[in-house]
């Protein structure tokens, strides 16, 4: 198996006395190549495949101090992933390819309460 990948991250943060905010962007482009058959001891020509995964995520988070001990935090993440699998032509069949895409919005909210020695939270 061989693989190659490149990724990037961008982050931005800011705050005031009672509020805090952060946002970032993540991108990854990753390729895996597989050869199956030689290592498994399967007779005949090896099967090869290439999997290309591209994903990016945008994330934002904000928090507000309701009191000295109670904080409300909310976040939203958008995730997008495209995965393509390619099989080259063989003596027994033509080249084939398949692609899947996933898009998701993922919200979250949390209440944090500071106590001696730790934090109690509800998500």
- pLDDT tens for residues 64-76? 999 999 999 999 9
115 part of a folded domain:
no
Question: Is a pLDDT exceeding 70 seen at residue 86?
Answer: yes
Contacts 24+ apart (CB under 8 A), 35-39: 35/1
Is 32 a domain residue?
yes
Non-local (6+) Cβ contacts of 27 within 8 A are 7, 8, 9, 55, 56
Average pLDDT over residues 32-55: 72
pLDDT digits (tens, 9 = 90+) for 25-41: 999 998 888 776 555 55
Torsion region of 39: left, alpha or beta (phi above 0 gives left; psi -120 to 50 gives alpha): alpha
Predicted pLDDT of residue 71: 95
Q: Which domain holds residue 44?
A: 2-63+74-107
The answer to whether residue 42 is domain-embedded is yes
Q: What is the mean pLDDT of the chain?
A: 83
User: Which H or E element spans position 41?
Assistant: none
């Amino acid at each position: 198996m061989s693989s190659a990948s490149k990724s990037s991250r961008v982050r931005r943060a800011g705050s005031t006395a009672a509020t805090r905010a952060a946002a970032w962007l993540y991108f990854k482009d990753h390729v895996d190549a597989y050869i199956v058959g030689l290592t498994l001891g399967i007779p005949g020509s090896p099967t090869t495949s290439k999997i290309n995964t591209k994903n990016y995520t945008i994330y934002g988070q904000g928090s507000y101090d309701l009191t000295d001990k109670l904080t409300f935090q909310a976040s939203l993440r958008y995730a997008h992933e495209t995965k393509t699998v390619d099989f080259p032509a063989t003596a027994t069949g033509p080249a084939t390819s398949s692609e899947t895409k996933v898009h998701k919005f993922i919200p979250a909210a949390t209440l944090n309460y500071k106590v001696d020695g730790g934090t109690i939270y509800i998500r």
